[in-house]
Amino acid sequence: MNETITPITVGELPALAQKMWDEGMRLVTLTAVDLCDGNLDLLYHFDKDLTMSHYRLTVPKTETVPSISGVYFAALLVENEIKDQFGTDFSGLALDFGGHLYLADEVKSQPFCKLSITKKS
Amino acid sequence: MARTILPFGPQHPVLPEPIHLTLEIEDEIVKSAVPALGYVHRGLEKLCEIRDFHQMIQIVERVCGICSKIHAMCYCQGLEELMGVEVPRRAKYLRVAWSELHRIHSHLLWIGLFADAFGFESLFMQCWRIRERIMDINEATTGNRVVVSVNVVGGVRRDLSKEHQTWIGEQLKLVEKEVLALKSTIVSDYTVKRRTQGVGVLTKDQAHQLGAVGPVLRASGWAQDARMLGYAAFDELEFAPVVEYDGDCYARLVVRFREVLQSVDLVRQALSRLPEGDINVPVKGKPKGEVITRVEQPRGELLYYIKGNDTKFLDRLRIRTPTFANIPPLLAMLPGVELADVPVVVLSIDPCISCTER
């Protein structure tokens, strides 16, 4: 069974997080997926009584996404992980590791982004 | 008194794996804690792009040795759902049996380490001695003690003979008897209670709001366990989650102790109802699409997100492990705790850093 994942926009994200919180949903995690076209899928997984809801936010990799750690403190680890691995910036992180949750200070690349080749004309 | 910043870990006698906590201390009382990770990060998820989806079973088994079987089951279960594979019933029951054996040895390992954290060395020794019976079962039935590679996409690769089933039943009787002999020590001993009761409390609301999972969640009064989803053969077995209500280190100890006995019962149920038939089915095609699947590891809910692209490689494999979910709750348990109790509180979430960092 392929999952039903509801698409959302960046503008809708803060209100969605607050709505989920008000409804007593547990934040399970976020998943980042590199779409290889310069965009990233951010999937937000919530749960209540073992029934999950999933939301998909598709954003350019370079776009800053509002953090939901102000509502769900538990999001801070996974948002920092995504920042490390995919380079996506989150604004308003409750605790910002600056892209170095896992990575050493000298690492400048995002190890989970797919490799791409730019052809010279 | 002025506040002091104290580094806890990454190397510490109580930690089997490296995690660092920056503790802000005032008068030997913790005021706040900030985690630092990255000491054992291996990037295993990324390997799905260069290893085919069958080879990835061996890789996900190595996310964590102690729950290797359950990682592989979750991964295979996701692919089976994605590819429309119907697993034989016998394989589902065998998956339950090996999973619950894993839970028993994981919990016994943890109870031993937890006892060691507050200096109860003989309890440590007894728990690990009992655990050896489960390791012997693993070795005899799968060929390995820890990383039991029994799952394949479409079922399991090994069967249990009648002789094995009888022998496992005998071993479980001994495990149950020996675990029950420790009950008065684990549950009622003065030393254990003094070091764990009222320490590292996580309230019911905090547990839910901070996304706690597994025994940490259930020790704070939530009757939630991914086995209630009925994956593998759990929908055909009698099962109700073990719940405690105090939310402290003692409650987390009691939940895991009771779950050892519950898992013994679940293995017995699975073996007594083991249907005849095949143990796997051939799998054709390649995975295409997205799937999200969950199972209950010894440490709590495990989630796999798998995205296939109709080739032998996956587009994305995302693993959310239980310790990753239990770190924010840990940060809420620590403020107000005495410095001497920090190792006990940290260990009470059963931290698996290999899982957390993958």
Residue-wise pLDDT tens digits, B135-194: 999 999 998 888 888 999 999 999 999 999 999 999 999 999 999 999 999 999 998 999
- Quick check: B316 and A100 CB within 8 A? no
Contacting B with CB below 8 Å, chain A residues are 1-3, 5, 24, 26-29, 31-34, 43, 45, 49-50, 52, 54, 72-74, 76-78, 95, 100-104, 111-112, 114
Count the Cβ atoms, other than its own, within 10 Å of residue B235.
12
| C-beta separation of B37 from B22 below 8 A | no
Asked if A102 lies within 8 A of B41 by C-beta distance, the reply is: yes
Residue of A nearest to B38 (CA): A102
- Of residues B355, B348, B346, B291, the one with CA closest to residue B325: B355
CATH, residue B216: 1.10.645.10
B165 vs A119, higher pLDDT: B165
| Nearest chain B Cα distance for residue A63, angstroms | 21
What pLDDT sits at residue B1?
Answer: 66
For residue B205, what is the nearest residue in chain A, using CA coordinates?
A: A24
pLDDT at A1: 45
Higher-scoring residue by pLDDT: B12, B26: B26
**pLDDT at position B321 over 50:** yes
- Do A45 and B82 make contact, defined as CB atoms within 8 angstroms? no
Average pLDDT of the residues in B324-349? 92
Does any CB of chain A come closer than 8 Å to the CB of residue B120? Answer: no
3-state helix, strand, coil in chain A (%, to 5): 20, 30, 50
Tokens of B250: 């003692």
CB B325 within 8 A of CB B224: no
Across the A:B interface, residue pairs with CB atoms under 8 Å apart total 80
Q: Which residues lie below 8 Å from residue B65, measured CB to CB, with a gap of 6+? A: B146, B147, B354
Collect all residues of chain A within an 8 Å Cβ-Cβ radius of residue B290.
2-3, 5
Task: Determine which of B22, B34, B39, B41 to mutate to test the interface with A (most A C-beta atoms within 10 Å).
Answer: B41
Tell me the whole-structure pTM to 2 decimals. Answer: 0.91
Q: Which residues of B touch A54 (CB under 8 A)?
A: 292
d(CA B353, CA B269): 32
Q: Which residue of B has its CA nearest to A96?
A: B34
Q: How far is A33 from chain B (nearest CA, A)?
A: 7
At B234, the pLDDT band (50, 70, 90 cuts) reads very high
Contacts of A74 in chain B (CB under 8 A): 209-211, 325, 328-329
Number of domains present in the structure of chain B: 1
* Residue A118 pLDDT: 47
Tokens of B135: 């390791």
φ/ψ (deg, to 5) at B151: -85, 140
pLDDT band (50, 70, 90) for residue A114: low
Share of chain B above pLDDT 90, in %: 72
ipTM summary value: 0.89
- β-pair partners for B289: B308
Distances from the Cα of B308 to the Cαs of A60, B56, B151, B154, B231, in angstroms? 22, 13, 19, 17, 21
C-alpha to C-alpha distance for B233 and B89, rounded to whole angstroms: 8
For residue B29, the cross-strand partners are B26, B338
Between these two residues, B18 and A111, which has the higher pLDDT value?
B18
Q: Is B49 left (phi over 0), alpha (psi -120 to 50) or beta?
A: alpha
Q: What are the counts of helices (DSSP H) followed by strands (DSSP E) for chain A?
A: 2, 6
Give which of A102, A106, A116 to mutate to test B binding, by max B Cβ within 10 Å: A102
Q: Which of A2, A31, A102 sits opposite B289 (nearest CB)?
A: A2
Rg (CA), chain A: 15
pLDDT digits (tens, 9 = 90+) for A48-105: 999 999 999 999 988 899 999 999 999 999 999 998 888 888 998 888 887 777 777 7
Q: Is there a contact between A76 and B328 if contact means CB atoms under 8 Å apart? A: yes
What does the pLDDT read at residue B257?
A: 96
Q: Answer yes or no: is pLDDT of A117 > 60.
A: no
> What's the mean pLDDT when you consider all of chain B?
91
Mutate which: B50, B209, B224, B326, vs A, most A CBs within 10 A: B209
pLDDT digit string, tens, across residues B193-215: 999 999 999 999 999 999 999 99
B211 to chain A: which residues are within 8 Å by CB?
Answer: 26-28, 72, 74
For B320, which of A2, A29, A111 is closest by C-beta distance?
Answer: A29
Paired tokens of A121: 């004309």
Domains and CATH numbers, chain A: 6-91 (3.30.460.80)
> Could you list the residue range(s) of the whole structural domain that residue B158 is in?
4-357
pLDDT at A115: 56
How far apart (Å, rounded) are the C-alpha atoms in residues A79 and A71?
Answer: 13
**Residue-level pLDDT at A3:** 64
Question: To the nearest whole percent, how much of chain B has pLDDT over 70?
Answer: 100
Which strands form A51-60's sheet, in the order they lie side by side? A6-8, A51-60, A39-48, A26-34
Confidence check: pLDDT of A31 > 90: yes
Instruction: Please state, as a whole number, how many other Cβ atoms lie within 10 Å of the Cβ of residue B245.
Output: 12
Taking CA atoms, what residue in B is nearest to A71?
Answer: B209
The answer to whether residue A113 scores a pLDDT higher than 80 is no
